[in-house]
Structure 1
């Protein structure tokens, strides 16, 4: 989308605009300029949103392909371990390792979530309460 800006032409020699004419031009041109700027911003945001959508889709596709890659690596680990132990034992060992990693990640996640809840900025709230008390005390003096 292209937004064009209308430029005033040159003022003919000897014809200077009066103050009321300039005010009239200003009241006509400012809203027009504002509308054009809004249209330009909309067009720019639409273009950026399009690129963001394509980027998000590409990241999603990459994640899916990476998931298949990890699955293939797990299968390779099972098959490689199956050279040393029976296949069922290899699958069991790899599954146990994966579950241990998942458990460790879950504990880390839980710890981080506990630190983030409740989602209230405690220090800011305490500081604000302190400020309110200080204002109340100074008002009573």
Structure 2
């Protein structure tokens, strides 16, 4: 990326007062366009860098989720085999499965209750409806 450097609209040896308004306006417009392009490129670079960091973090969350799943699985097996010392292995597996069913049901109910409290973005929807109405009939 090149750095922004204002250009002089006059020729060497030319009096600054002799520069026309059109030339000045063209120079300013060109400089603003160049600055805008550079800002867009900077924004793209920053977004790419942040997206890379977010992707790595998401991968770590995925790994943590897999590790948590493995811990739950192994603790389930340990509980099942511990109960198998007191009763038949089939009954121990059934009891552990029932405990997981209760945990799943409780989590489902809590998630469903929380989901019911989520509302639509009413203000944004109203604004979009107004924009669509204005686009259909721009003069009012």
TM-score range, shorter chain: 0.5 to 0.7
Cα distance in 1 for partners of 2:113, 2:104 equals 14
Structure 1 residues 16 and 49: alpha-carbon distance in aligned structure 2, compared to 1, 3 A threshold: farther
> TM-score of the superposition, structure 1-length normalised?
0.67
2:58 maps to what in 1? 56
Unaligned runs of 5+ in 1: 126-141
How much does 1:15 deviate? 7.4
Which of 23, 36, 39 matches 1:37? 39
1:47 aligns with 2:49: yes
Which of 77, 83, 87 matches 1:85? 87
- The 3-state SS of whatever aligns with 1:116 is coil
In the alignment of these two chains, the number of paired residues is: 116
How much does 1:16 deviate? 6.9
How much does 1:78 deviate? 0.8
Cα distance in 1 for partners of 2:121, 2:113 equals 17
> TM-score of the superposition, structure 2-length normalised?
0.67
How much does 1:42 deviate? 0.8
2:112 maps to what in 1? 110
- The 3-state SS of whatever aligns with 2:87 is coil
Structure 1 residues 45 and 79: alpha-carbon distance in aligned structure 2, compared to 1, 3 A threshold: same
Within-5 A mapping of 1:12-23: 17-18=16-17, 20=20, 22-23=24-25
Unaligned runs of 5+ in 2: 127-140
Question: Using CA pairs below 8 Å that are at least 6 residues apart, which structure has the higher relative contact order?
Answer: 1
How much does 1:75 deviate? 0.7
Q: Would the aligned equivalents of 2:80 and 2:96 in 1 still touch at CA under 8 Å?
A: yes
